[in-house]
Amino acid sequence: MLIAWLTRHWVSLALGMGVLLLMLLPIPIYRLQWNSFLILVYLQTPIYMLHQVEEHTGDRFRRFVNQRIYSGVDALTPLTVLVVNIPGVWGVTLLSLYLAVFVAAGWGLIGLYLIAVNAVVHIVWSIVFRRYNPGLWTAILLFLPLSVLTFLRSAGAAATWIHHLVGLGAALAIHAELVLHTRARAMRLRALQH
């Protein structure tokens, strides 16, 4: 019951929570005296949520993937979208923030690479398909500047090559898992049709 409700309403939650998290930003800046790198890491979650609103309102992204990439096969399901976006995005960016604050600032790069890889995917799709894809504008206008700023500030946060490698690896693994999952589902559905 909760999963069905979340599947229908998570994008509205993303909008509300994204705006709320942006409104809370003065607290870590002023009271916690976070440095600029940690502020950029904090911004990864609400910025990603705003991106999700453009991407998933009206089930746009799922329909785009199923129509453009899988030729009408229902490869990407609403449940998969929910799992990818709540634990796979919100959970990962939140974990990245916690690790950056309580373990080592360089772990904030996990969220950075998740955002950067996603931006690259949207831009590449726009070139390949020669058209808009859901999430493209926020990928360009929000993800790219946030990625560049976070990357530039990471040197001052004592980020090591291990932080970069783990961040990039986690982002690539999440995106690859989604591709493999949807491709396998598309193959199963096509096999059933024949």
Looking at the chain, the whole-number percentage of residues with pLDDT higher than 90 is 86
**Domain hosting residue 175, numbered range:** 2-193
How many domains does the chain fold into?
1
**Token pair of 7, please?**
């599947």
pLDDT value of residue 110: 97
Helix (H, G, I), strand (E, B) or coil at 94: helix
Q: Does the pLDDT at position 31 exceed 80?
A: no
Q: Does the pLDDT at position 115 exceed 90?
A: yes
pLDDT value of residue 35: 86
For the segment 78-103, the average pLDDT, to the nearest whole number, is 96
CA atoms within 13 A on the CB side of 85: 27
For the segment 149-177, the average pLDDT, to the nearest whole number, is 94
Q: Does the pLDDT at position 11 exceed 80?
A: yes
pLDDT value of residue 64: 96
pLDDT value of residue 160: 94
pLDDT value of residue 155: 86
- Residue 159 has φ and ψ, to the nearest 5°, of -70, 135
pLDDT value of residue 194: 72
- Alpha-carbon span 147 to 145, nearest angstrom: 5
For the segment 63-78, the average pLDDT, to the nearest whole number, is 95
Is residue 85 within 8 Å of residue 118, measured between CB atoms? no
pLDDT value of residue 105: 94
**Token pair of 75, please?**
């490869």
pLDDT value of residue 158: 86
For the segment 179-189, the average pLDDT, to the nearest whole number, is 94
pLDDT value of residue 33: 78
Type of residue numbered 4: A
pLDDT value of residue 135: 97
DSSP state of 105: G
For the segment 132-140, the average pLDDT, to the nearest whole number, is 98
| Confidence label for 8 from pLDDT (cuts 50, 70 and 90) | very high
- Alpha-carbon span 98 to 18, nearest angstrom: 17
| Weakest mean pLDDT among 21-30, 49-58, 167-176 | 21-30
**Token pair of 169, please?**
């690896």
Q: Does the pLDDT at position 30 exceed 80?
A: no
Largest CA distance in the chain: 62
DSSP state of 150: H
